[in-house]
Amino acid sequence: MTWMIKDAFLHELLGRMSVEEKAGQLNLLTGAMDATGMKHSGDLDAKIRAGLCGAVLNVYTPAATRALQELALASPLGIPLIFGYDVIHGHRTIYPIPLGLSCSWNLNLLGRCARMAASESAADGLHWVYSPMVDISQDPRWGRVAEGAGEDPWLGSEIAAAMVRGYQGNDLADPASVLACVKHFALYGAPMGGRDYHSVDMSRRAMEETYFPPYRAAISAGARTIMTAFNDIDGIPASANRWLLTELLRGQWGFQGWIVTDYTAVTEMKNHGTAATDADAARQSLEAGVDMDMVSEAFLSELPALVESGAVREEQLDAAVLRVLETKWDLGLFRDPLARCTHQPAMQPCAENRQLAREAARESIVLLKNEGEVLPLSKHATIALIGPLADSRRDMLGCWIAAGDESLAASPLDGFRGVATVVHTRGCGISEADEDLLAEAVRAAKQADVVVLVLGESWQMSGEAASRTDIRLPECQRELAKHILQTGKPCVLVTMSGRPLELTWEDSQFPAILQAWALGTEGGHSLAEVVFGDAAPVGKLTMGFPRSVGQLPMTYREKPTGRPFNAAEKYSSKYLDAPNDALYPFGHGLTYGKFRHGAVSIDSPEMQPGGTVTVSAEITNLSAYPATETLQLYLRDLVAPVSRPVKELRGYQRVTLAAGETQVVSFQITDANLSFPGRDFQPVVEPGDFEAMVGPNSRDLRAVRFARLS
């Protein structure tokens, strides 16, 4: 009955709309509270008052959204607006950048963070967040790796689903729920040369095996909106690609929500060279399956004339409008359009949210190296905290901080000062040397017991439009590091960045390295907890760190090739000047303490169709205190009709062991774990030999074989 009422209401409303008003519902304009693109919307108030705007981005707070919503309600048909915003890793409370948070491998934590962001966003007048970004990437030169979950499609799929469920909850009308917008559809994480907005050229098999799975997982989790990518696919821009948006996304995958372009992507088709005019671009996008035009206004300005001329069927326009109106109904906007615009929310993160942000930051930190157990540090030592990022609250937040306030964030210095005696100096700028600062840093190091160097990228050096060809630490920071090492004082390196860095030299020089990403509002406190041993690091890399930029793009999931790597054979797949593998591989991450990894066993050498086999691995905590490890399961199909990766993540378990404790950790393997896209790209499970591998990362694995029977 409710569905019938909804359907009747929406169709009656659609019947009263002019073609111009229909085009208006597909028109997404930007306010001026933030700038996230090159074009700004003129006459925003006038367009809303005339019913020529369906949604607004870059406007938040109850007061600001209420003012615009009241204009929309005063329009001829009184259709309420949807308010959207780039809430990427928190709204007012900022948790770690998505790449960092993914290193927690904690799906419950990821979901809770998304739920926190949804609650804060909804309280600030928002209905829609442009997250999660689920683009798989194997190239850290691309700045937007900061916004994703790394290189692995299986883990990326699990994270995508957890984030969608966290944002949307069980009911979109819930005042703490927001629409998730999965982006960027599709393949945006593989631009040529790692250069943002560049072309993407890949095989259908790479799409199906590596890049598509997280999008599908997000859709299966109920995501209501999808954002198109800037790139072309097979020469056709994503925003005009009917095969991608209609045949694949809606047809084969059954997506029932609505599709929005990225910022001005419709009119950018003229730059792609696939549309001569705005009208041509608007026609192509609508016919491809796009429902909403972000900021370019080509739909608003061109669709009425295209419908009148017969170049676009009004039925196509109606279908897009109904998808948008249906979402507004489900959000409760027709029942109470001012529901999220009434009460002024807390402008500062509440204690509960800050505590969650601190937990998220702790679990995102990855201990890359700890020779000689330099870490954790003694709280009784005098610490020289040195580096351009050591007291930078803004850089601790990273890119895309929504309504986050840097003055409320904790820098490393803020965290350290509450724990130990600290002497602080910058040593240099992010990219600028300073002889006076360098001399001051050397003096501070000589006076201290231990040095903690906090180096890396500023927040502007990663994110959108922030690709880099050189992903080493800036030269002045490397010089600072050399001078500090020459003092002979024990030295810990903390790297903050929005991407994996090339740390080959640093790995050869520093006994202990912590990767701290951009940890968010509570990052400085969490970093101090880990450095001084109040918490042990548990993070595991979701993207490998290269030995050289020349390895990129790079993934542990490589294919074997016809001439696999063989150190003794010249004519095998390798470099002359570097090993093939990562400096720090996918899944790598140490903790305080040591483990012994025992043999891997399997309960049966044969697996029946539809049946299971169980792989078990023994692990012992050799430490004198409890310690936590994340064991990972990888599989390889040894013979298949298409070449398969040498290993693929298919499961993991985090285990905490008491001092001296031994546990047997078991993984159950089913046909779902063995499935892959066959020659026709349909999922298939075939009989044959498989290898199961278990270990603490994608490189250090113990293996056992089994056969899946026909």
Contacts of 155 (CB under 8 A, 6+ apart): 102, 105, 149, 542, 649
Strand order in the sheet with 366-370: 366-370, 512-515, 491-496, 450-456, 382-386, 421-425
Which domains, from first to last, does the chain contain?
A: 351-540 (3.40.50.1700), 595-708 (2.60.40.10)
- In this prediction, residue 346 carries a pLDDT of 67
Mean local confidence (pLDDT), 613-619? 98
The answer to whether 90 and 113 have CB atoms below 8 angstroms apart is: yes
Looking at residue 235, what DSSP letter applies?
T
Confidence band of 488 (pLDDT split at 50, 70, 90) = very high
Range name among 12-21, 156-165, 347-356 with the lowest pLDDT average:
347-356
- 81-135 tens-digit pLDDT: 999 999 999 999 999 999 999 999 999 999 999 999 999 999 999 999 999 999 9
Three-state DSSP class for residue 52: coil
For residue 194, which of 243, 140, 151 has the smallest C-alpha distance?
A: 140
**Cα–Cα distance measured from residue 558 to residue 648, given in angstroms and rounded to the nearest whole number:** 9
Burial class (CB in 10 A: 0-12, 13-18, 19+), 233: buried
Res 345 pLDDT > 80: no
pLDDT, one tens digit per residue, over 195-247 is 999 999 999 999 999 999 999 999 999 999 999 999 999 999 999 999 999 99
pLDDT above 70 covers what percent of the chain? Answer: 99
pTM of the model: 0.97
**Residue 326 CB contacts under 8 Å (≥ 6 apart), including other chains:** 6, 10
Is pLDDT of 1 > 60? no
Q: Which sequence positions are flagged as catalytic?
A: 262
- Give the tens place of pLDDT for each residue, 513-549: 999 999 999 999 999 999 999 999 999 999 999 999 9
Which of 488, 528, 536, 527 shows the shortest CA–CA distance to 509?
A: 488
Q: What is the pLDDT of residue 473?
A: 98
Q: Please, are residues 131 and 88 in contact by the beta-carbon 8 Å criterion?
A: yes
Confidence at residue 2, expressed as pLDDT on a 0 to 100 scale: 67
Residue 84 pLDDT: 98
Burial 613-636 (b: 16+ CB within 10 A, else e): bebbbbbebebeeebbbbbbbbbb
CA dihedral 150, 154, 157, 161 (to 10 degrees): -120
Residue 302 reports pLDDT greater than 90: yes
**CA 582 vs CA 241, 545, 559: distances in Å:** 36, 6, 15
Beta strands in 535-647 (DSSP E): 595-602, 606-607, 613-621, 627-637
The C-alpha atoms of residue 440 and residue 447 are separated, in whole angstroms, by: 11
CB 632 within 8 A of CB 695: yes
Residue 36: its pLDDT value, please?
87
Q: What is the pLDDT of residue 204?
A: 97
Count the neighbouring beta carbons within 10 Å of the beta carbon of residue 305: 14
Residue 40 is predicted with a pLDDT of 85
Q: What pLDDT is recorded for position 347?
A: 72
pLDDT at 4: 77
pLDDT (0 to 100) of residue 201: 96
> What's the number of CA atoms in the CB half-sphere (13 Å) around residue 485?
16
State the alpha helices, DSSP H only, in 380-522: 393-397, 412-417, 435-447, 475-485, 504-509
Q: Which residues does 162 contact at the CB level (< 8 Å), separation at least 6?
A: 107, 108, 110, 111, 114, 221
Check residues 593 and 168 and name the one with the higher pLDDT: 168
